[in-house]
Structure 1
Amino acid sequence: MITNDSRLPVAHRTWWKAPMAATLPGLPLLVGELSMFYSEGYTSGIEIGILLGVALLAVAWLLPHRRSMRGLRMMTAGGALALAILPLLYAVLLGVAMASG
């Protein structure tokens, strides 16, 4: 029996680019921040943001490889990267503020 291939979802050929662009700089930051903040023994707001960043990064890799999911994949990868950079940026801004005072 011949099936109609036009209705089957087509895999997007470059689906991996957005998660990879967020994983390369974001994963080392997330692992370093998680090891630094997770050892305190209590859950803080920064730790929840870091865990959310790890979850968003995993979701960016696990989304279906269809072209229609490209926007959602880019948003989750960008959100994961933003949550990875945010604690580091906050620490740098606090250091600048303390040094200028």
Structure 2
Amino acid sequence: LMQIMPATASHITRDRSLAGGNRDRLLDPTFNVTLGQEYLSELMGAGGGADNLFMLTTAYNGGPGNLTRWMSSIDFRGDPFLFIESIPAAETRGYIERVVT
């Protein structure tokens, strides 16, 4: 299954019940993976910098708003590895390292 937060699922599907009492639908593998694919597609097309695997993974785990904020505040000189090491959220750093390596 893909890691989809209920609020994100609600945003993608425009179905507010997914953020509330209908969260169990996120455990249905077909629904979950389809939703995850839609979210990844949305992130890649958002123009928010999620145009490579490192940035896409950052946006997927940390949120597109955080990706934008971190890209503007971290002087990473275009080096994705320096960017990853400079992300202030330890959970997101660890997630990227687990997914990409």
TM-score (norm 2): 0.27
Structure with the higher fraction of residues in helix conformation: 1
Structure with the bigger RCO (C-alpha within 8 Å, sep 6+) is: 1
Rg larger for? 1
